[in-house]
Structure 1
Amino acid sequence: MLLGCIGDDFTGSSDLGNTLAKAGMRVVQYSGVPTGPADPDVEAGIVALKSRSLPVEEAVRLSLEALEWLQEQGCQQILFKYCSTFDSTPEGNIGPVAEALARELEADQVIFCPAFPAAGRTVYQGCLFVGDRLLNDSGMENHPLTPMTDPDLRRWLALQSTVGVGHVPAATVWQGADAVRDRIAAESDAGKPFVICDAIRDEDLLTLGAAADGAPLITGGSGIALGLPENFRRQGLLSPEPPVWEGQVGRVAVLSGSCSRATRGQVAHHIGLGEAALEIDPREVLAGTFGAMDAAEWVLGQDGAPLVFSSADPRTVRAVQAEYGTEEVAHALEEFFADLARYLVDGGVTRLITAGGETSGAVVEGLELGQLDIGPEIAPGVPAIRAGEDLVLALKSGNFGAEDFFDRAARMLGDEG
C-alpha cells in the first residue's frame, strides 16, 4: 500500500476513493480499522471512520488506530480526509485529529484544503465558497450537527487548534509547486505549520498535489488527492492496468436521511418521476409506532426504485430536535436506516443508494461491510461501490449530485459493463 487515507465519514471516504480510482489507483475502502492485513495489490487504502461528530477524544483515538494500521501496511504518505464543506464545530474534530496525526508523523508542515471545484467548493483568500456563496450562506449554516457559521477557514481552524494557522494564497499557487513549497516552509518557520491553501480550479489542486510529494501528512477534501497518484506514477509504483467494474442486476432501493438543499431537490425530482416514496416521521420512529420492518415491507412491495426519506426542511428538523433532543433524533434515525438496510438486503435488494453522511455510515455499519471496492464515477464525488458478491452501493454526501442522481445511480449500479 502506497497511500494511506483516514476519512472522517463513509460518504466522504468513498468520494476520496472515487478521485483516486479515476486517477488509476487500485483503491479499497475499509469500514473502520481492519483487523488483518490488506491485500497486496491495494495501492490506496481508505479507513473510513464515523468520527466527524464523535467527541474529540474518541475521534482522535480512532484516527490514531487507523494511522497505526496504515503504517503497518507500509504506506509512504497519509491523507486525512474531511468534508469539502469543512464540517466541524469550534471544538473540532478536524484540528484535534490533524494535530494528533502530525505529532505521530513528525509533520511540521501540513496542507489544509477542502476545495472540490467539480462540486462547487472552492477556497479563495482563505475563505470557503459553495458555488457563488460563502460557506455560511450556502445552507451549511443550518446543518443539524455541524452548522458552519464562518467561511474563513483560518479563523475556524484556529478555534480548533493549539498550533498556528497560515495561508497560501491563490497568487502563490498559480506560480507552481516550488512556490507553494517555499510559502508553506515560510509559514511553518513563522510558527504556522497548519496551512490553508487556496484552490479554485482543478489545476490548483494538481499543483498542491505536486507540492505535497513526499509530505508525511496532507489534509483536505477529496480534491486534494487529484495530484497525488501522479507522484507515485512517476516513480513507477502504480499498476498499469486499472480494475474492471461489473454492475449488479436485481432490486434497488433509495434511503435518504440528508436535509441538504441538493438532496431535498433530488427527493422531489424522484417523486416527480412517479417513483414510490415513503416519508418518515421521526416522532413515529422515536415513539416506536413505525419501525424499520414496517418500512421494509413497504419497499419490498413496490416496483421501480422506491425511496424512503426523512429529508425534511431545516425548520422542521429544528422543531423535532427542540422537542426530543438533537442526539436522540440523530441516533434514532441512524438506527432506523441501519435496520432498514439489513431487512432490505435480506429481502433481496442488491442495489442500495443512500443520501447523507450519517445515513450512509449507519447503513454501512448496519450491514457490517468490512471492505468496499471502489468502482466508476456516478457523479462528481460519488463512485459505484461493490460491497460483496451480490451487493453494490452508492453512498452520497448530502450536497452532491444533480437532481436526477437517484435514477442515474440505479442505472449505473445495474450496468453490466
Structure 2
Amino acid sequence: MSASSTAGLPAGLLLTYYGDDFTGSTDAMEVMAAAGIPTVLCLEPPTAELLKRFPEARCVGLAGSARGRSPEWMETELPKAFASLKQLGAPVLQYKICSTFDSSPAIGSIGKAIDLGVQTVGGRWVPMVVGAPRLKRYQLFGNLFAAIGGEGFRLDRHPTMSRHPVTPMAEADLRVHLREQSARPITLVDMVRLQAGMGAGHVAAHAADNNKEAPVVLIDVLDDATLLAAGQLVWEGKGSGVFTASSSGLQYALTAYWRQRGWISPQAGLPPAAPASVIAVVSGSCSPVTAAQIEWAARNGFTTERVDLWKILHTETAQAEIERVVELACSSIRQGISPVVYTAMGPDDSAVIGFDTLARDAGRTRADAARLVGTTLAEVMKRLLDRTGLRRVVVAGGDSSGEVVSMLGIAALAVEAAMAPGAPLCRAYSRLPQRDSMEIILKGGQIGDDSFFGKALAGGAFNG
C-alpha cells in the first residue's frame, strides 16, 4: 500500500485485537487484509522478533480461546494478552467477539473481558459494533438478528444459537444479555440516533468523567449506511486510545469509513484461492450449516468418517480410536481422495444431545470433555500432516480450530486468498520447516454454503 493511499491515517499500527476464538480471529484479519491493510494474526503474544517477519503490518491480532473459558481464567490470562497488545501502540484495541455474541456469565463472559480491558487500556467509553451485514448479522434497537438459509431470526429464536450446547442465546437484546455479565453502565446508539447524526452527542453525554465509569455503548448496524456511520463514530471518538469489544463488524465499519474518506483504496481485495490436489478436513462443529457441508462432501467424492466420542472420552480406548481414524484418512489421501473427519452432524445429532451423559459416564466434566474433543481432532490433524505432508487443511468449529492450530506449532497466520466471507485461506508461519507456509482455513460453524469443502479443494472465491 502506498503512503499516499493512507495519508489521512496515523503512521504505524491502526488497530490491534485479541480474538476470543481462532475462527473469529481469522475473520477479523480477512476484513482488514481485503481492505488493503496489511495484517498478521499471531498465535502467541507478539514479540519484536516475530513481528520482524511482517514489517508492513498495520494491524496485529492475537488469537485466543476466551470464548470457551471461565471468568477466573480470564482474570489470569486476559490482562497479559491486553498488555502485550497495548504496548504496540495502536489507537484502537479490540476484544474481538463472535458476531453471534456467544457468551454467558460463566463461559466466555464478554462483560468480564470488557472490565479487564478497560482496566488495562482505559478510555472514556467502550464502543461495541456487533452487526456485520456481510455476515448476515444485524443489530436493530439493541437486538441482534442473524440470517440462515435466506431467513432472518432474532438470536434467541435462531435454530442454532438458541440451542448452542455451551452458550445458548436466551435473550436477543444485547443490553439485557450483557447486564448479566458486568455491572458497567450500558447504553445504545440506536439507528434513529445514528441516522440523525446524534451518535457523537449521545456518547459525549454518557462518556466517563471523574465521577463515571466508562460505559459500554452498543451501536446499531443494519446496512451499509449504518455500518459506515458506526465506523465514523468509533474512529472520530477514539481519543488518545479506546478499548472496544466488537465483532468483525468493527473492521467492516472502520474500513468503510476510511474508504469513504479516501484514506484507503476502493480497489483493494483478495485474490481467489488456487486449487489443491487433495485436502483434509476436521470438524468439531455442531452447526446445521457444517452438517450440510459434510453431507455435501459425502455425496461429492470425499470420504467422511465419524469419531466415536464414547471411545475418545475413555482413556483405555482413545488412542486406538484416533489411530483408526487417522489410518482411514491417510489411506484416502494416498488415493487422492480428500477426507472429512467429524464428531457431530448438527445440533440434533445424538452425540450432541447426549454429550453431557457421555462426559459423565467417562468421569469427566462437560468442559473437560469438550476440550478433549478439540485436542483429539488436533492430534488427528497432526498425525495426518506428519504422515502425508499435506499442504492445505480445513478446520471447522471455533474451539476445534484453536486446539488444532496450537498443536501444530504455528506462530502466525496471514491471509493468502479469498474463500467465503469470514473464512479466508491463510498461510502459516512456523519455526517448524514442515509447517511453514502450509495453507489452512479456519471455518466457523455457521460459515459457508453447502459446497464449502469442495470449493476449499477446487479453489476460487465465493460468497456462501
Task: Please give the TM-score of this superposition, normalised by the length of structure 2.
Answer: 0.82
| 1:384–1:412 CA contact under 8 A, matched in 2 | no
Number of the residue aligned with 2:379: 339
Where does 1:362-373 land on structure 2 (aligned, <5 Å)? 362-373=403-414
Letter paired with 1:207: A
* Equivalent residue for 1:307, pick from 340, 351, 354: 340
By how many angstroms is 1:247 displaced? Answer: 4.8
Number of the residue aligned with 2:104: 89
By how many angstroms is 1:323 displaced? Answer: 3.2
After superposition, the C-alpha distances for 1:276-334 in whole angstroms (9 at most, x for unaligned) are 10011200212325433322211111133211111234342131322314223212211
Comparing 79-88 and 375-384, the one that deviates more: 375-384
Number of the residue aligned with 2:188: 167
**RMSD of aligned alpha carbons:** 2.6
By how many angstroms is 1:166 displaced? Answer: 0.7
Letter paired with 1:311: A
Comparing 211-220 and 149-158, the one that deviates more: 211-220
Where does 1:146-161 land on structure 2 (aligned, <5 Å)? 146-161=167-182
SS in 2 for 1:291: helix
Number of the residue aligned with 2:280: 253
After superposition, the C-alpha distances for 1:180-225 in whole angstroms (9 at most, x for unaligned) are 2222222336977111211111332221111111511222111221
| 1:102–1:108 CA contact under 8 A, matched in 2 | no
Cα distance in 2 for partners of 1:391, 1:149 equals 40
Number of the residue aligned with 1:401: 448
SS in 1 for 2:196: coil
Cα distance in 2 for partners of 1:250, 1:5 equals 34
Number of the residue aligned with 1:133: 153
* Equivalent residue for 2:223, pick from 177, 187, 201: 201
After superposition, the C-alpha distances for 1:332-370 in whole angstroms (9 at most, x for unaligned) are 211111111111211211110111001111111110211
Where does 1:179-328 land on structure 2 (aligned, <5 Å)? 179-188=198-207, 193-214=215-236, 215=238, 216-229=242-255, 247=274, 249=276, 251-287=278-314, 288-289=317-318, 290-302=320-332, 303-315=336-348, 316=350, 317-324=352-359, 325-328=365-368
Letter paired with 2:69: L
Cα distance in 1 for partners of 2:46, 2:232 equals 30
By how many angstroms is 1:227 displaced? Answer: 3.0
SS in 2 for 1:402: coil
Say whether residues 1:353 and 2:394 are aligned partners: yes
Cα distance in 2 for partners of 1:206, 1:311 equals 39
Identity over the aligned pairs, expressed in percent? 28
C-alpha distance 274-236 of structure 1, shift in aligned 2 (>3 A): closer
C-alpha distance 236-312 of structure 1, shift in aligned 2 (>3 A): closer
Cα distance in 1 for partners of 2:138, 2:438 equals 34
Cα distance in 2 for partners of 1:335, 1:3 equals 31
Comparing 317-326 and 195-204, the one that deviates more: 317-326
Cα distance in 2 for partners of 1:319, 1:242 equals 44
By how many angstroms is 1:118 displaced? Answer: 1.9
Comparing 166-175 and 28-37, the one that deviates more: 28-37
C-alpha distance 116-357 of structure 1, shift in aligned 2 (>3 A): same
By how many angstroms is 1:237 displaced? Answer: 9.0
| 2:18–2:94 CA contact under 8 A, matched in 1 | yes
After superposition, the C-alpha distances for 1:351-391 in whole angstroms (9 at most, x for unaligned) are 10111001111111110211101233211111110014441
Structure 1 unaligned blocks of 5 or more: none
Letter paired with 1:293: E
Comparing 367-376 and 54-63, the one that deviates more: 54-63
SS in 1 for 2:279: strand
Cα distance in 2 for partners of 1:68, 1:235 equals 32
C-alpha distance 171-95 of structure 1, shift in aligned 2 (>3 A): same
Letter paired with 1:386: R
Cα distance in 1 for partners of 2:133, 2:257 equals 21
| 2:308–2:321 CA contact under 8 A, matched in 1 | no
Say whether residues 1:4 and 2:16 are aligned partners: yes
Task: Please give the TM-score of this superposition, normalised by the length of structure 1.
Answer: 0.91
By how many angstroms is 1:60 displaced? Answer: 3.9
SS in 2 for 1:118: helix
Cα distance in 2 for partners of 1:397, 1:171 equals 32
Number of the residue aligned with 1:59: 74
Paired residue total: 413
Number of the residue aligned with 2:6: none
Cα distance in 2 for partners of 1:157, 1:32 equals 28
SS in 1 for 2:62: strand
Number of the residue aligned with 2:89: 74
Comparing 329-338 and 14-23, the one that deviates more: 329-338
By how many angstroms is 1:141 displaced? Answer: 2.0
Where does 1:30-41 land on structure 2 (aligned, <5 Å)? 30-37=42-49, 38=51, 39-41=54-56
By how many angstroms is 1:392 displaced? Answer: 0.3
Structure 2 unaligned blocks of 5 or more: 1-12, 360-364, 430-435
By how many angstroms is 1:249 displaced? Answer: 4.6
Cα distance in 2 for partners of 1:224, 1:28 equals 17
